[in-house]
Amino acid sequence: MQKLSLAGLLLATASTLTAQASTGYLVDSNSDQLFTVDIATGAATFIASTFNNGLDTPADLSWRSATNELWTIDLAGGEVGTIDVLTGAFTPVYQTNLSGWQGMTWDETTQMFYLANQSGSNYSLDPVSGVTTLLGVAGFSLLTSLDTDAAGNLFGCDFTTGALVSIDKVTGAGTLISTCQTTNIQGLGIDQATGVWYGCSTASSSLFSIDPLTGVSTLVGAHGAGITFAKGFDLIDGGGGNFATKTNYGTGCNNSYASFFESFGAFDLNNTTLSFTSTGTGYVVFPQAGTSTWHTPTSSAITIGDDQVVQFPLGWTLPYPGGSTTDVWVSSNGFVTGVANTLNGCCAFNQAQFLSAGPCWAALWDDLNPGAGGTVTFDSNPATGDAWVTFDNVPRYNTSNLNTFQYAFHASGQVELLWQTCTLTTCGVGWSPGLANANPGSMDISAAAAIITGPDTAALSLAASARPVIGTSVNLTLSNVPSGAPIAAFIFGLFKLDPGISLASIGMPGCFQYGSQEATALSIAPANTTSVVYSIPNAPWLVGVHVVVQGAVYNPAGNHNALGALSSNGVEFGFDVN
């Protein structure tokens, strides 16, 4: 395998200075609203609502300076994702498949997220693989806020006792430093430049500075702005400690997903139809205006209460991608499965269940309650091989938001989801074979001309083994290389392209260029996973310089596209001394 040196590649230098943080972000989990916080006064300024795209309760906030992103984790739903600091829009990225989250922080030194759960245990989350790993028990009753200092030391604060705790990033065990004079700290921010600690207390809705060695807290000021429960907080700072950075961005091509879904913050499919045509290994799905194929129910309403699942025999065989069924299981919470199911899906769209609990069609997965009003009917015609499940004016739990929608199943394998009028806002819509399938992320169904599913296929993926500290070497690994590909390339550049430039014009639709092209390292007859060693000179003038890397594969026999080539995500390196 080739070994590439930086010599001759780097054409420019830069230096960076770390500035003291002057602003933070705060979220009120009672009102689901995002604010900025003036660190000098404690005063908060409203930005936007965070109650969208399935985010129920943001448990904490974490600012990633290298990517300029604000991250959060849902207390109940377990989703980890970003919050747009201009609009409040939540974008789920990872699913922990756990609930009870209380604290979250990003660590620049290990390039990992660290999480605190109300169970008393601490976890790490790898942003490359998306895997959540149990570290161990903290030894404190309820850590509700986490942060790291410039050296990468991990700290937390106990909500009830005010204990200020240092946390071992390997075992998760906590060690008492001191006891804060102010309790009910639900947000912790450590200024990476100055080392000053700040905490938000839900007891007074105020910002405090905290001396971690003595626990002495000093009031900075009240938040105001109507804040009643400041659940998460972090500082906007540029990082500290002169740490090198590596950041993945963009996506590789040649990926396909067996599932699709939209996690709605504002439902927009009224008076439309989704028409599913089976290809045997997946569906081709077309969004259509209107509900011209709506079936008027002829059977009597079934008896189904809140959070119940009822089985219905079709009287014929329904084929679906990957199997077939003679029965359907209808959940009162608005979804249908093709295998025996006892999971009712309360009380919101559950992505983990959707992707792993058997074939599932979701027209309006939410916390519905047909026991409180409306009707659910099941009609089947074995002679023609057709069946319909109709929810008519079924309310969302404990509200008057009524919803009318229908499933149509046919022996040909054709399926339709139809919506007349649905007045709820948050729900899940989509399809999954439910075989522990890959999470494709939420999409905008109404904006799609067509949706195509097939077997889960991983995209070409580039990863770096370590941060680019000067005087060291980093392994760059290109994964999911198609078998038999004659050549792979690692392309290095000085200029980042994000968003990437579409390569459709050269015969690579769905692929993107994520950086300029100043140097290339080739791998001939690569394996499915191939690597190159990237050597970084021990040159102080490199501090502050950024380089981007992208992988590519030429494989004309694979018929991936007209050009016969694939591209990976990008990796951005920021060189430094630590």
Q: What is the DSSP string of 122-161?
A: EEEE-TTT--EEEEEE-SSS-EEEEEE-TT--EEEEETTT
DSSP state of 96: -
Residues in the chain, how many? 578
- The reported pTM is 0.55
What CA–CA distances, in Å, run from 217 to 166, 181, 191?
18, 6, 16
Residue whose structure tokens are 């009031």: 219
Q: Residue 152 has which token pair?
A: 């990468």
Please give the radius of gyration of the chain, using alpha carbons only, rounded to the nearest integer.
26
Residues of the chain with pLDDT under 70: 1-22, 237-242
Rounded distance, CA 238 to CA 252, Å? 28
Q: Which residues contact 390 (CB under 8 A, 6 or more apart)?
A: 295, 297, 375, 376, 377, 378, 379, 405, 406, 407
Q: Which residues contact 123 (CB under 8 A, 6 or more apart)?
A: 96, 114, 115, 116, 117, 132, 133, 134, 135, 172
Q: Residue 230 has which token pair?
A: 């400041």
Strand partners for 164? 157, 178
Other CB atoms within a 10 A radius of the CB of residue 316 amount to 17
| CATH number given to 23-240 | 2.120.10.30
Picking from 85, 79, 86, 129, the residue whose alpha carbon sits closest to that of residue 104 is 79
Other CB atoms within a 10 A radius of the CB of residue 545 amount to 23
437: Cα within 13 Å, side-chain hemisphere: 30
The helix/strand/coil state of 402 is: strand
Rounded distance, CA 392 to CA 13, Å? 65
E-assigned strands of 480-558?
487-493, 496-502, 512-515, 519-524, 530-535, 546-554
Exposed, middle or buried by CB within 10 Å (0-12, 13-18, 19+), for 154? buried
What is the reported pLDDT for 21?
A: 53
Q: 506-522 burial string, b = 16+ CB within 10 Å, else e?
A: eebebbbbbbeebbebe
Other CB atoms within a 10 A radius of the CB of residue 571 amount to 25
What is the reported pLDDT for 242?
A: 64
Picking from 349, 319, 326, the residue whose alpha carbon sits closest to that of residue 427 is 349
The CATH architecture annotation of domain 247-252+458-574 reads: Sandwich (2.60)
Rounded distance, CA 301 to CA 42, Å? 56
Amino acid at 54: G
Residue 314 near residue 326 (C-beta atoms within 8 A): yes
What CA–CA distances, in Å, run from 124 to 3, 130, 384?
32, 10, 53
Residues of the chain with CATH 2.60.40: 247-252+458-574
Residue 352 near residue 337 (C-beta atoms within 8 A): no
- Its sign, for the CA torsion 486, 490, 495, 498, is positive
What CA–CA distances, in Å, run from 32 to 56, 79, 283, 437?
8, 16, 36, 31
Q: Residue 335 has which token pair?
A: 């979804």
Pairing of strands 121-125, 132-137: antiparallel
Q: Which residues contact 129 (CB under 8 A, 6 or more apart)?
A: none
Q: Residue 340 has which token pair?
A: 């025996």
Amino acid at 463: A
What is the reported pLDDT for 7?
A: 42
Residue 388 near residue 363 (C-beta atoms within 8 A): no
Amino acid at 502: S
What is the reported pLDDT for 241?
A: 53
H or E stretch at 355: helix 351-356
Residue whose structure tokens are 């604000």: 70
Residues of the chain with CATH 2.120.10.30: 23-240
Strand partners for 186? none
